Amino acid sequence: MHNDGSRQGEQSEELHADAELDLRGVICPYNFVKTKLKLETMKAGQVLAVVLDEGDPIRNVPRSVSDDGHAVLKQEPLAQAYRVIIRKKPDA
């Protein structure tokens, strides 16, 4: 089966981020705090892309935002980092 990459491009469009944070080099818990503060400025249902380092950041931040009620839609590996796609929870 030949894969020309077009499907992957379609997926990326579905998960278009309304905002993006690059938190490489930011240690725990500051990367979660910055993610949480950014989500607070966004509207319900908007999508935030966060770039996190390997190790504690990628283990802790997605779990913490999920615990806050947000949806982690996708985690994709980058070179020595990860891009996490988060949808802000509906307003209560």
Residues taking part in catalysis: 28
Helix (H, G, I), strand (E, B) or coil at 67: helix
Instruction: Kindly state the tokens that stand for 85.
Output: 């796609």
Instruction: Kindly state the tokens that stand for 49.
Output: 């892309």
| Phi and psi torsions of 48, nearest 5° | -115, 130
